[in-house]
Amino acid sequence: MAFLARRHSVLPGFGPTLGFSFLYLSLVVLIPLSLLFFRSADLGWGGFWNVITSPRVVAACRLSFGAAFAGAAVNAVCGLVVAWTLVRYRFPGQRLLDAVIDLPFALPTAVSGIALTTLYAPTGWLGRPLDAIGLKGAFSPLGVTIALTFIGLPFVVRTLQPALEDLDLDQEEAAAVLGASRWRTLRRIVLPAITPALLTGFALAFARGLGEYGSVVFISGNMPMRTEIAPLLIVAKLEQYDYAGAAAIAVLLLVASFLLLLTINLLQRWSGRRHMRGA
């Protein structure tokens, strides 16, 4: 641990706390995760490539990425409206709505899963009207997207809210005084200022959607090639005793998640600089 050389400080307890934290993280996170990479290495590059380019894996990844992307996009639009309304307007029941934003986060995913399935099945409250206009809610890619939209909503709204609260109203006012229309002000002043937060929220929702399992397995119908998501395919591979294959798909998802984490960190650094420059 020589690389952990610290700067001089009078506070005590650096060694033990960092030592314990690092040990804990190593035992719980680092070692088990790195095992996954070793396990997929059993396959060799060729085998790994064969697994992740097999049609079923490609289809599952396409669905996982596509539905997570669509869900995050819906959230970016609707979440922006929701965040804007919650920050800029006052109305009866506002606090309740604000508190309820975190519901998808607090509600166990299995509960979300059976509730959404019941709701969007052809016999459900929302499934029936959808069915009437020829759309299938549950047991279709649309159902997967709905579940991922549900799961991702708090990430977008909660990232946008502080950014919207920090907006400098003077700038908006100045723009209005100078004769800009409201729409133009929003587009030219507000939107650029909140773009980093919006993108961060989008990326967080996307990352969460990519790995989501509990709420999706109930509503998707789990049809290979059609409504099977990548995390479910990991489970399916495990059930077929294909540990290396399962590890390969897991590694693929992990790499995607890490890239997203990296993007999010860069975005946050970007928005941090923006704030500093603005101050």
Partner 1 sequence: MGDLVRVRRHRFAGRHDRAATTEPRWVGLLLLATTVVFLGLFLLLPLVTVFTEALRKGAGAYFASFGDPAALAAIRLTLTVAAIAVPLNLVFGVTAAWAIAKFEFRGKSFVTTLIDVPLAVSPVISGAIYVLLFGLQGLLGPWLSAHGLQVIFAVPGIVIATVFVTVPFIARELIPLMQEQGIEDEEAALTLGASGWQTFRRVTLPNVKWALLYGVILCNARAMGEFGAVSVVSGHIRGKTNTMPLQVEILYNEYNFVAAFAVASLLALLALVTLALKTLVERLSAAAVTLDSGLPAAEEI
Partner 2 sequence: MIRRLDPSWLLAAVLLLGSLGCGGGGEQQAAGRQPITLLNVSYDPTRELYRDYNEAFAAHWLKETGQTVTLEMSHGGAGKQARAVIDGLEADVVTLALAYDIDAIASRAQLLPAGWQARLPHNSAPYTSTIVFLVRKGNPLQIRDWDDLVRPDVAVITPNPKTSGGARWNYLAAWAFALKRELGDLSRLQDPAQADAVAAAEVVARRFVTDLFARVPVLDSGARGSTNTFVQRQIGDVLLAWENEAFLAVNELGPDVVDIVVPSLSILAEPSVALVDVFADKHGTRAVAEAYLEWLYSPTGQRIAAKHYYRPVDPQHADPADLARFPDVELVKIDEVFGGWANAQRIHFDDGGTFDQIYVPGP
* Residue of the chain from 44, 58, 81, 278 that contacts partner 1 (CB under 8 A): 81
Residue 176 and residue 179: Cα distance in Å, rounded? 5
* Residue of the chain from 27, 97, 223, 259 that contacts partner 2 (CB under 8 A): 223
Residue 231 and residue 249: Cα distance in Å, rounded? 8
Choices 44-52, 128-136, 208-216, 220-228 (CB under 8 A): range interacting with partner 1: 208-216
Choices 52-60, 79-87, 128-136, 194-202 (CB under 8 A): range interacting with partner 1: 79-87
Q: Supply 152's token pair.
A: 């991702």
Choices 34-42, 92-100, 156-164, 222-230 (CB under 8 A): range interacting with partner 2: 222-230
Residue 277 and residue 279: Cα distance in Å, rounded? 6
Q: Which does 135 bind (CB under 5 to 8 A by kind): partner 1, partner 2, none?
A: none
Amino acid symbol at 12 = P
* Residue of the chain from 41, 73, 180, 238 that contacts partner 2 (CB under 8 A): 238
Residues numbered 161-200 forming contacts with partner 1, rule: CB under 8 A: 165, 169, 172-173, 176-177, 182
Question: Which among 113, 107, 100, 123 has a CA at the least distance from the CA of 143?
Answer: 113
Classified as helix, coil or strand, 229 is: coil
In whole angstroms, how close is the CB of 49 to partner 1 at the nearest point? 20
Work out whether 221 is an interface residue with partner 2 (CB under 8 A). Answer: yes
Measured between alpha carbons, how far is residue 39 from residues 34, 42, 46, 243 in Å? Answer: 9, 5, 14, 8
* Residue of the chain from 222, 257, 263, 268 that contacts partner 2 (CB under 8 A): 222
Asked if residue 216 lies in contact with residue 148, where contact means CB atoms within 8 angstroms, the answer is yes
- For residue 148, give every residue at least 6 positions away whose Cβ sits within 8 Å of its Cβ, in sequence order, or none: 67, 68, 70, 71, 72, 209, 212, 216
In whole angstroms, how close is the CB of 87 to partner 2 at the nearest point? 30
Residue 160 and residue 85: Cα distance in Å, rounded? 11
- Mark 107-146 with x for binding to partner 1 (rule: CB under 8 A) and - for no binding: xxxxxxxxxx-xx----xxx--------------------
Q: How many other β-carbons are positioned within 10 Å of the β-carbon of residue 172?
A: 17
Work out whether 224 is an interface residue with partner 2 (CB under 8 A). Answer: yes
Residue 7 and residue 44: Cα distance in Å, rounded? 43
Residue 203 and residue 152: Cα distance in Å, rounded? 10
- Mark 27-66 with x for binding to partner 2 (rule: CB under 8 A) and - for no binding: ---------------------------x-x--x-------
Work out whether 109 is an interface residue with partner 2 (CB under 8 A). Answer: no
| Residue (127 or 154) nearer to partner 2, CB | 127
Q: How far is CA 99 from the centre of its chain?
A: 20
Residues of the shown chain interacting with partner 2 in the complex, contacts defined by CB under 8 A = 54, 56, 59, 121-123, 138-139, 217, 221-226, 232, 235-236, 238-242, 245
